Structure 1
């Protein structure tokens, strides 16, 4: 989910409203509402879905030979990730296990638990030749296209 960036150089109380004569209490309540909504949107963007499964941020791009998916999975071990290709679907699933900590956690914004990324590929692919690599917290999955999926230049002849 992409959220808009909220730039607020001044507080609502410092703005002037020439046609409205809001008093201090009303403007203060609205300003407080803006603050709470900002915190809510920030927390919602980090929260798992209703089912408790979250989806990692990922990009998919196409080359002449393959589809390449790059998914952000920082801190997740290779053995905790599963990559499957079935027909035209790519599934990346796994779990980010929360580590034990000493003391009291005061604020937690890192996602933990089960995750899932699904992509429907436009054409049939060579499932047996799919490669996956995890480096620097980024999982790169390369899914080769079948021969029929590759673009081919057709020469036009005169009749």
Structure 2
């Protein structure tokens, strides 16, 4: 059985730049290196589905609660953003392996013209954010009469 790994070229480039900057002493710590590109630390997986009446956006956010996530709709763009905080080492607990992603994230989606931006409903349960966006009636083209002088 083979494992499929999602390749992220931006992440590889970011890692290469961090190594380069550390090698030449340009960056004092890991966090400063990440700020050079001002991008998200990770991106949650998202499924987008369509029915006759609505669009549904489902985002996997394990280990997070609803207070860690912000959803906005502005000028036809749906934005999901938040932060998953990492666990810190303590005297009685030492971390040996970290494979989960932590830090801030932001996902943006351009909405189709037939979405009612005022109808967005959000539900958060068991680490799954579900957004429902109702479809709007298609806008009729408006005819403008041109007067010839």
Provide the aligned length of Structure 1 versus Structure 2: 112
2:48 alignment counterpart: 60
2:24 alignment counterpart: none
C-alpha separation between the residues in 2 aligned to 1:126 and 1:75? 31
Task: Give the aligned CA root-mean-square deviation in angstroms.
Answer: 2.9
C-alpha separation between the residues in 1 aligned to 2:136 and 2:48? 17
1:114 alignment counterpart: 104
CA drift of 1:96 comes to 0.6
- The question of 1:99 aligning with 2:82 is answered no
For the pair shown, which has the larger CA radius of gyration, 1 or 2? 1
Given that 1:132 and 1:140 are in contact with CA atoms closer than 8 Å, whether structure 2 keeps it comes out as yes
How big is each residue's C-alpha offset from its partner over 1:2-33, in whole Å with a ceiling of 9 and x where there is no partner? xxx737xxxxxxxxxxxxxxxxxxxxxxxxxx
TM-score after normalising by structure 2: 0.64
Instruction: Show structure 1 runs of 5+ residues with no match.
Output: 8-37, 150-159
- Return the match for 1:134 from 116, 124, 130: 124
Instruction: Show structure 2 runs of 5+ residues with no match.
Output: 15-38, 140-149
C-alpha separation between the residues in 2 aligned to 1:42 and 1:67? 26
